[in-house]
Amino acid sequence: MTALQVLLAVAERGSTSAAAEPVSLSQSAVSKQLLGLEDLIGGPAFLRTPNGMVPTELGAIYIEHARTAIKAMEDAALKVARLKPGPRVLRLQVPPIFGDRWLLPRFARFTEAHPEIEVQFTTFVSKTQTEVPDGMARFVVEPPNGEEGDYLFGRDIRLVSAPFYWQKHGEPETISAAATGVMLEHPQTPFHWRFLAASHGEPTLKARHTTLFGYYTMVIRAALAGQGMALIPRGLIVDDLAAGKLINPSGLGYRSDYGYWFTRPSNLPTSQTIALFQKWIRNEAMAVSDC
């Protein structure tokens, strides 16, 4: 199963290094799994080209059938697990930033209340994904087709920085004053200066400088380290704001259409386990709700 998952990840990502993250292996382990599979099937699954790894004819056949085989095995395992008596299993798909900044600091309260439930976390999301989680945390405008769920928080976006960042110049009282600072952004999120400026009636106002990061976690870390300002959903940093590690000068921020939702597949029956978790996460989110 691991080798087939590696095969699909390399086909999707185009290299062993890029495939390492979704399968939670090192690059060397991915390469070993792929070489072992190629020995088994009797030939190379990919051509190594300057533009990435391209499936061979042999590889393309195995990739097509690997998707079917993995989904069949996982579907069977999931159905059997739900029939078995004993410890209850809850499979959750959680984006890393949501888990790191909000869910995990609170999760001990759930495990203490329900020690009988075994929770399995996954962050693997791809077009070829075959896992069927019981519930998912998503950052979306509304749940996608085939899912139903509850809005948690996330639409309240705040401009924040470490308190010592503005010590030299004083905390900004207006959007124009804030524009003299350095913005910290991740290009693939909707948290950009232009949305803040437009919401304050200054659509052409630009920040003095913008620093881009490849991961949104780095944006938050940089803001905590005093390297600039960042736009962050208040719910993700409510603890940092309360502790004074981050400040929100003059309450600057805006309202986003996006937010964190907890959803579940609408075609699956609502088990007692998922119902307990839904109730718990709704209650936890009430403390940071921005409805």
Over 203-240, what HEC string results?
CCCCCCEEEECCCHHHHHHHHHCCCCEEEEEHHHCHHH
Whether 42 has a pLDDT exceeding 90, the answer reads: no
Whether 124 has a pLDDT exceeding 60, the answer reads: no
Residue 10 in tokens: 């390399």
What pLDDT was estimated at residue 188?
87
Which pairing describes strands 209-212 and 253-255: parallel, antiparallel, or unpaired? unpaired
Question: For the residues 119-148, what does the mean pLDDT come to?
Answer: 79
Mind listing the domains of the chain with CATH numbers? 2-81 (1.10.10.10), 85-154+259-286 (3.40.190.10), 156-255 (3.40.190.10)
pTM of the model: 0.67
Q: What are phi and psi of 200, to 5 degrees?
A: -105, 15
What pLDDT was estimated at residue 244?
95
Q: State the average pLDDT for the chain.
A: 87
pLDDT in tens, 50-97: 888 898 888 888 888 888 877 777 666 666 655 554 457 888 999 889
Residue 123 in tokens: 């962050």
Whether 203 has a pLDDT exceeding 70, the answer reads: yes
pLDDT in tens, 271-285: 889 999 999 999 999
Which sign, positive or negative, has the C-alpha torsion 96, 227, 206, 166? positive
* Nearest Cα residue to 88 out of 114, 115, 117: 117
What pLDDT was estimated at residue 27?
85
Q: What are phi and psi of 263, to 5 degrees?
A: -125, 165
Question: For the residues 137-166, what does the mean pLDDT come to?
Answer: 94
Distances (CA, A) of 194 to 175, 207, 218, 268, 288: 11, 9, 20, 41, 25
